[in-house]
Amino acid sequence: MATSIFLSHPFSPLLSKQHHKIPSPKQTIAIAYHSTNKPTTKTPFLPFPTSFFPFPSNPRKEFWPISVGRAQTDEKDEILVVGEDSAEFELSKQKISSWVYFTGILGVVLYVLNVVWIDNSTGFGKSFIDSVSSISDSPEIVMLSLTLIFAIVHSGLASLRDKGEELIGERAFRVLFAGVSLPLAVSTIVYFINHRYDGVQLWQLNSIAGIHELIWISNFISFFFLYPSTFNLLEVAAVDKPKMHLWETGIMRITRHPQLVGQVIWCLAHTLWIGNSVAVAASVGLIGHHLFGAWNGDRRLAIRYGEAFEVVKNRTSIIPFAAILDGRQKLPEDYYKEFIRLPYLSITALTLGAYFLHPIMQAASYRLHW
């Protein structure tokens, strides 16, 4: 859980491709045509429960997916790419001053976080944990409560993003969003690390041959799903103006909500390994939060991008590989090139590093006595 919050790091891709930009909400009117040359009809957004089903409930006109930077046309059909190329990072477009600024901001944020929240002598983190712990003597209830508080604040602020950016601007809202969400995330992570072996032991599978390797591989894979939305660290730190992206390549071809899929994989692996009621409580809370986040994310993208999102939604799915298997997502021949990029390689290195740094992270959490 600890590494699933902090790991992400952008570098330049080995291969860069020119791509079409997403039309703005005002420009998004008719972005795809079929043989009739008539604009597609926007399908009303589905309510919460049914919007997770990857297959359209009503027949839709077919959109042929193509790789970013390509155009496939004939006499009858015109196909336009509306999504962005994920994990794109061109070194030639980077400014050293921006990354120096980012480093400075990161240092200030970590210092303030430590003083205001983490350090027990000056911060409010321990008082917050003690207040939530006073609700119940059950670590399962406390774990669920901490996750619920984080989920309400995190998703609530995300839902208010459009209005908030109109009132105070994109950068100021990002600072507010991170300043409130990050301390709550740290508290939830530290409590899980310190109390993960509390509660009732439900099963014990650690001694089974091959189970450690299965858990390790599952966790390793989960991080490739968790981080495509955090490649743009300059936007995360508000050095660049934050944007709401409509990704369409790379991991998005497999699933439109990779963070949900990655969190499910991570939770199942850790719950299988730990095997107690606290791990189950943490997994239930996290998966529930990400299920809501997937629905809420689709809702917000539909509001922001309208017809453009409907096109991307039509040729992607939430359930991994569903859109590929039913033919709505047609992979280009050079699909593998969308992963041969340094952002994905950096995830590999940082995931391996986080695995070997687990003892250090655990020791740091224990010293807080949360």
Spatial distance between the Cα atoms of 9 and 233, rounded to a whole number of angstroms:
7
Per-residue pLDDT tens for 5-23? 444 333 333 333 444 444 4
Q: What is the pTM of this model?
A: 0.77
Backbone angles phi, psi at 43, to 5 degrees: -85, 135
Structural domain of 253? 94-368
User: Does residue 261 belong to any structural domain of this protein?
Assistant: yes
User: Does residue 171 belong to any structural domain of this protein?
Assistant: yes
Q: Which residue has the tokens 């619920």?
A: 148
**Among residues 195, 180, 116, which one has the least CA distance to residue 150?**
180
Q: Is the pLDDT of residue 284 over 90?
A: yes
User: Does residue 121 belong to any structural domain of this protein?
Assistant: yes
**Among residues 199, 204, 200, which one has the least CA distance to residue 142?**
199
Question: What does the mean pLDDT of the chain come to?
Answer: 81
Per-residue pLDDT tens for 212-224? 999 999 999 998 8
Backbone angles phi, psi at 23, to 5 degrees: -65, 145
CB half-sphere exposure, 97, CA atoms < 13 A: 1
Per-residue pLDDT tens for 179-206? 999 999 999 999 999 999 999 999 999 9
User: Does residue 129 belong to any structural domain of this protein?
Assistant: yes
User: Does residue 1 belong to any structural domain of this protein?
Assistant: no
For 285-307, what is the mean pLDDT? 95
Asked if 85 and 249 count as a contact pair (C-beta separation under 8 A), the reply is yes
Q: Report how far apart the first and last C-alpha atoms of the chain are (Å, whole number).
A: 16
Per-residue pLDDT tens for 323-368? 999 999 989 888 888 888 888 888 888 889 888 888 999 999 999 9
> What count of other Cβ atoms lies within 10 Å of the Cβ of residue 322?
18
Residue 323 vs residues 25, 103, 226, 246, 315: alpha-carbon distances, Å: 25, 40, 20, 17, 6
User: Does residue 293 belong to any structural domain of this protein?
Assistant: yes
Q: Is the pLDDT of residue 68 over 60?
A: no
User: Does residue 119 belong to any structural domain of this protein?
Assistant: yes
User: Does residue 243 belong to any structural domain of this protein?
Assistant: yes
The percentage of the chain sitting over the pLDDT mark of 70, rounded to a whole number, equals 77
Backbone angles phi, psi at 179, to 5 degrees: -65, -30
Domain count of the fold of the chain: 1
**Among residues 300, 246, 312, 244, which one has the least CA distance to residue 31?**
312
